[in-house]
C-alpha cells in the first residue's frame, strides 16, 4: 500500500507538504468524486472485511468502491500516512421510520485536528447526505455545501449531524411517488461521541450488516458516486442522476429503471466500477432514500 497509488486513484496531483485544511478539503472532495459508496460485494457473493490491505486492493487497485467501514478506514489510513492528527470515531445512524438512532455504532467516521481546530471527515455516506468537505466541529454552525446546509449539534452526551436540503423535482412522473424520494427538507443523519475507536470495534457490526436478514445492505444493492453537479445512484434496478440546483431551491432527480443486462455497463460507465463476479441486484422493502 502506498499513497501514490491512492492519489492516482482519486486524481490528486497536488503537493501535500502542507498538512492544512485546504489540502484536506481537496482530497476529501476528490475521494467522494472518485470512489463510490457501494455494497455490491454482498450481492456478488463476496465477503467484506476490515483488513486494510484487502480494502486497499479492492478500492484502489481493482476499481471498486465500498461502504463506510471500508471507505473511511481507507481515508483514515491515508490521513495518518500523510501526517494528519486523525482519530477514528463511531456513529449511530438515525432511522426515520423508527424515529431513533441505531443501537450500535454502524458508521465509521474520522476526526482530524488542524491548527487546534477539530473537523469531521466522512467520505462514505453516499447520495444526497454525502459531505463533499469536512465539517468544522462547532455546535450549531451552519456549513453550506453543494447538497445543502449541514449542522453539527452538541447534545451534551453526544454530537448530532443534520442536514437541510432542497425539495426534489422529478421530471419522470413514473417516479413522482418513489419510496427513494425523501420530501423532508431537514434530516437527522447520525450521532457520535468523541470516544476514539479502534478497527476491531467494528468487527461484529461489519459481520452483522452483511448477514442479518433485516440489514438494509442485505435488502438493497446500492452504488452511489458524487459528481461535480450532484450525484449518481443505482439502487436495485433504479438508476438516478441527480443535479443540485440551489439557485432554484430544488434538486432534479432524473430516474429510470434498467434491466439486468444493463447493470454492469452502467456500473462501469457511470461509476467506474468493474465487477469480478456476477451482480444479483436486490431492491426489497427497506427504508432508504436518495
The DSSP letter of residue 60 is I
Q: Cell for 196? A: 476514539
Give the three-state DSSP class for 43: helix
Q: Which residue in the block uniquely carries the three cell numbers 421530471?
A: 171
Q: Helix 3-10 and helix 68-82: axis angle, to 10°?
A: 120
Q: Cell for 17? A: 507538504
Active-site residue list: 68, 107, 122
The DSSP letter of residue 83 is T
Per DSSP, helices labelled H in the chain are: 3-10, 21-34, 52-56, 68-82, 203-209, 216-219, 260-271
Amino acid at each position: 500500500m502506498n499513497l501514490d497509488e491512492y492519489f492516482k486513484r482519486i486524481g490528486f496531483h497536488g503537493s501535500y507538504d502542507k498538512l492544512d485544511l485546504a489540502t484536506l478539503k481537496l482530497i476529501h472532495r476528490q475521494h467522494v468524486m472518485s470512489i463510490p459508496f457501494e455494497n455490491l460485494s454482498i450481492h456478488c457473493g463476496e465477503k467484506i472485511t476490515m483488513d486494510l490491505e484487502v480494502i486497499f486492493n479492492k478500492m484502489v487497485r481493482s476499481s471498486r468502491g465500498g461502504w463506510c467501514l471500508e471507505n473511511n478506514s481507507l481515508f483514515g489510513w491515508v490521513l495518518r500516512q500523510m501526517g494528519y492528527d486523525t482519530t477514528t470515531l463511531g456513529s449511530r445512524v438515525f432511522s426515520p421510520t423508527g424515529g431513533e438512532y441505531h443501537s450500535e455504532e454502524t458508521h465509521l467516521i474520522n476526526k482530524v485536528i488542524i491548527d487546534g481546530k477539530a473537523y469531521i471527515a466522512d467520505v462514505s455516506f453516499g447520495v444526497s447526505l454525502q459531505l463533499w468537505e469536512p465539517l468544522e466541529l462547532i455546535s450549531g454552525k451552519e456549513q453550506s455545501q453543494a447538497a445543502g446546509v449541514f449542522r453539527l449539534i452538541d447534545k451534551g452526551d453526544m454530537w448530532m449531524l443534520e442536514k437541510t436540503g432542497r425539495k426534489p423535482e422529478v421530471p419522470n412522473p413514473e417516479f413522482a411517488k418513489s419510496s427513494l424520494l425523501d420530501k423532508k427538507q431537514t434530516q437527522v443523519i447520525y450521532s457520535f461521541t468523541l470516544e476514539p475507536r479502534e478497527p476491531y470495534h467494528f468487527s461484529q457490526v461489519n459481520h452483522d450488516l452483511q448477514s442479518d436478514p433485516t440489514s438494509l445492505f442485505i435488502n438493497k444493492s446500492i452504488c452511489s458516486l458524487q459528481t461535480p453537479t450532484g450525484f449518481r445512484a443505482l439502487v436495485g434496478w433504479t438508476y438516478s442522476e441527480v443535479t443540485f440546483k440551489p439557485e432554484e431551491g430544488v434538486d432534479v432527480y432524473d430516474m429510470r429503471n434498467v434491466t439486468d443486462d444493463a447493470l454492469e455497463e452502467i456500473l462501469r460507465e457511470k461509476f467506474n466500477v468493474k465487477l469480478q463476479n456476477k451482480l444479483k441486484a436486490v431492491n426489497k422493502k427497506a427504508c432508504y432514500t436518495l
